[in-house]
């Protein structure tokens, strides 16, 4: 037993040392570039799955192994870590950090929760939709971490009033039994038997439904307490709840749901908590910058097909947004059925107005803590809206501001009759989606955090904070603290580099770059082409069946490794498979990318899953029960959307000309222009081919 414990303690080191040795026969026996890259992919996959190394550190392995295996020189490989897509990711993260820093995301979430109401089904929607919307623009991990404290505050109020209500119910029952007249013993016996039978019947119904929730809020039995003490406790709890921390709420709720009698409330906890992870996973798929696999797709398309494909921020949004929206609505319905019950999920109306009012007051107190909307919040909203408009209008179907920054190179070739023939090359687009994101990020370091046109007061604002505590004898003690509101240091601009340095997830940036480097090595070594040739028999399958296979294989792989790693490994293979069997590459690449984010079953599948699992409300079995059905239904929605309107947007059923000339387009993208900027170098493959004609 001690040996096993020692091995488990040193498991990371053992995996780090033994995995390269176990896989070593692959490069030693085959000794080909394809085998070398396959060895590296398998090694990184094991490290990613087991987390023997930090994920960002594992992403740096190609920097060492690719040049060592003589696949690519270092000067050609290392720029892959900061491709255009990575700059887009960094710009989007900086915008997201500004929103987080000024608590704008929390204001939006609390506003939505106050609008939808406090009945469980609407509370569920109130947590799903803000998480879903914000994860389109903010990282899934940050969105989940922001929403969970709000979940804790709501659950704490539900639990507190559930306890109080049950105490009152028991007191009324005991008082009614004590007030029965003694002289009417037969009637009392019959009445007592009747009450007992009713209580037994209620208990049986409760056992039958097990953890299904009746009505609008859960019920549980608490301790008996005198009415005066209960009222005092109620007032004290309501006052102190405004100052309760998220950690206190978590501890109280965790201890409360351990009681088997509180299964209904435990299910409310599970339902609301897991909705945060599912909302974040679905929301990240809707926009190009929402999650890292989308940027891996963008990089693979640019590196293989240049700017010739119809893929951009607008077309991706038109394709992915409906699938994301339908998916989150399915999650809303399924979580109700699973945790509330099919009958109660269709019920409307609220039985306990006091409980509703209590939860509404809790949300109102949380919102009032933020104060009135501030100048920095308005500034962040404006910059965010401008960024989205620039993304959508860059290339919306033949027109857009991106066409102002384009150039068509021209070369002149001697013809057979001695005249010069004018040949126009492929149009070069200088702008991409990274430029608006970086421009707005730069402005965050310029815009002031206070209104420069508003005259400042000479006096210092004073804030009086009151803390009410209840003594053992039931008396209240009020403590007042006077401080000025300038105690908290306010930055002079909307964002500072110190904040970015502390909050930007550099490990994810490296992970994204490692995926790009891995894809480049896979392509240059010929491994992706080799796998594509081996999968050529799949070309005999109809396209719908092929998409189904790709979608569900991807959803399985993404459960055991990171979403970004899954997309980085599979997308280069799908590019060459599409070329081999002669279909539109986007018909497989786009659904594969979306499926890489459909990780709902395991805590390790994606960071939002890990965050909600760490709260302690959920077990692995709970996640499997809710996630399996969601994986199946989301995959079906993805396939249906791809084959219907997705085929119209991207013309999936025809092999495009830009896919045929993919290598030339990629070369054009990387080579750029000559010093003059208007003439393409004569060594470009495409122009030499046209000239020879």
Q: Please report the DSSP string for 207-244 in residue order.
A: HHHTTPPPSSS---------HHHHHHHHHHHHHHHTT-
Name the token pair of 277. 């992870």
Determine the average pLDDT of the residues in 494-511: 84
547-574 residue pLDDT tens: 999 999 888 888 877 787 788 888 888 8
CB 570 within 8 A of CB 528: no
CB 351 within 8 A of CB 119: no
Query: How far is Cα 159 from Cα 265, in angstroms, rounded to an integer?
Result: 8
Which residues, in sequence order, are bridge partners of residue 484?
Answer: 462
The whole-chain average pLDDT of the chain stands at 73
CB 506 within 8 A of CB 73: no
pLDDT for residue 430 is more than 70: yes
pLDDT for residue 77 is more than 70: yes
Name the token pair of 357. 């009012």
Name the token pair of 199. 């209580």
CB 519 within 8 A of CB 67: no
601-638 residue pLDDT tens: 877 677 788 778 777 788 878 888 888 999 999 999 99
Q: Which range, of 233-237, 245-249, 341-345, averages the lowest pLDDT?
A: 233-237
The three-state secondary structure class of 495 is coil
pLDDT of residue 677: 32
CB 145 within 8 A of CB 611: yes
pLDDT for residue 182 is more than 70: no
The CA distances from residue 639 to 117, 301, 544, 592, in Å, are: 34, 21, 8, 10
What value, to the nearest 5°, has the Cα angle with vertex 201 and ends 196 and 203? 95
Q: Which range, of 71-75, 161-165, 216-220, 396-400, averages the lowest pLDDT?
A: 216-220
Query: How far is Cα 279 from Cα 266, in angstroms, rounded to an integer?
Result: 20
The residue count for the chain: 693
The CA distances from residue 572 to 300, 350, 489, 522, 619, in Å, are: 7, 53, 48, 7, 36
Q: Please state, for a pLDDT cut of 90, what percent of the chain lies above it.
A: 11
């Amino acid at each position: 037993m001690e040996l096993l414990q020692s091995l488990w303690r040193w498991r990371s080191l053992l995996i780090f040392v033994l995995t390269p040795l176990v896989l070593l026969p692959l490069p030693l026996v085959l000794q080909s570039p394809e085998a070398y890259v396959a060895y590296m992919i398998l090694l990184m996959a094991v490290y990613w799955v087991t987390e023997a190394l930090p994920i960002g550190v594992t992403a740096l392995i190609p920097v060492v192994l690719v040049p060592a295996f003589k696949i690519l020189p270092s000067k050609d490989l290392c720029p892959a870590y900061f491709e255009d897509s990575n700059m887009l990711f960094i710009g989007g993260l900086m915008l997201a950090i500004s929103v987080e820093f000024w608590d704008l995301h929390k204001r939006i979430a609390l506003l939505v929760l106050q609008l939808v109401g406090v009945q469980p089904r609407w509370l569920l929607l109130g947590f799903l939709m803000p998480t879903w919307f914000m994860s389109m623009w903010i990282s899934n991990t940050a969105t989940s971490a922001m929403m969970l404290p709000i979940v804790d505050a709501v659950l704490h109020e539900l639990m507190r009033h559930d306890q109080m209500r049950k105490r009152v119910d028991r007191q009324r029952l005991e008082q009614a039994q004590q007030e029965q007249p003694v002289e009417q013993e037969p009637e009392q016996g019959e009445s007592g038997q009747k009450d007992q039978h009713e209580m037994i019947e209620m208990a049986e119904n409760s056992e039958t439904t097990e953890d299904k929730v009746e009505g609008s809020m859960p019920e549980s039995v608490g301790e008996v307490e005198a009415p005066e003490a209960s009222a005092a406790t109620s007032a004290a709890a309501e006052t102190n709840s405004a100052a309760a921390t998220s950690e206190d709420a978590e501890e109280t709720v965790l201890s409360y749901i351990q009681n088997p009698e509180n299964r209904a409330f435990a299910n409310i906890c599970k339902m609301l908590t897991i909705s945060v992870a599912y909302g974040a996973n679905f929301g990240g798929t809707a926009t190009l910058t929402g999650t890292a696999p989308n940027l891996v797709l963008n990089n693979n398309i640019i590196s293989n097909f240049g700017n010739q494909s119809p893929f951009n921020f607008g077309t991706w949004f038109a394709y992915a947004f409906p699938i994301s929206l339908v998916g989150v609505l399915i999650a809303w319905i399924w979580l109700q059925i699973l945790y509330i019950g099919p009958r109660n999920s269709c019920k409307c109306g609220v039985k306990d107005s006091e409980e509703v009012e209590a939860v509404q007051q809790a949300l109102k107190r949380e919102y009032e803590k933020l104060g009135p909307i501030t100048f920095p919040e308005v500034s962040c909203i404006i910059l965010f809206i401008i960024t989205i408009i620039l993304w959508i209008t860059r290339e919306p179907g033949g027109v857009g501001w991106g066409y102002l920054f384009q150039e068509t190179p021209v070369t002149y070739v001697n013809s057979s009759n001695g005249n010069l023939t004018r040949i126009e090359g492929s149009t070069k687009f200088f702008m991409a989606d990274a430029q608006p994101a970086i421009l707005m990020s730069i402005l965050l370091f310029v815009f002031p955090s206070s209104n420069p046109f508003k005259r400042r007061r000479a006096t210092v604002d004073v804030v009086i904070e009151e803390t009410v505590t209840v003594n053992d004898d039931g008396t209240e003690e009020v403590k007042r603290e006077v401080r000025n509101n300038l105690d908290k240091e306010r930055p002079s601009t909307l964002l500072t580099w110190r904040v970015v340095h502390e909050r930007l997830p550099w490990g994810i940036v490296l992970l994204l770059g490692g995926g790009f480097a891995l894809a480049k090595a896979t392509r240059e070594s010929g491994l992706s082409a080799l796998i594509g040739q081996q999968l050529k028999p799949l070309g005999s399958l109809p396209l719908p069946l092929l998409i189904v296979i790709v979608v569900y294989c991807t959803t399985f792989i993404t459960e055991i490794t990171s979403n970004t790693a899954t997309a980085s490994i599979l997308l280069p293979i799908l590019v060459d498979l599409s070329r081999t069997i002669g279909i539109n590459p986007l018909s497989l690449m786009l659904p594969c990318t979306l499926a890489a984010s459909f990780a709902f079953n395991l805590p390790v599948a994606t960071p939002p899953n890990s965050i909600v699992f760490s709260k302690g409300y959920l077990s692995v079995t709970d996640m499997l029960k809710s996630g399996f059905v969601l994986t199946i239904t989301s995959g079906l929605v993805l396939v249906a959307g791809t084959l219907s309107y997705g085929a119209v947007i991207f013309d999936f059923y025809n092999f495009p000309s830009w896919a045929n000339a993919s290598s030339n387009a990629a070369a054009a993208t990387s080579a750029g222009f000559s010093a003059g900027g208007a003439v393409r170098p004569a060594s470009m493959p495409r122009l030499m081919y046209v000239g020879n004609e």
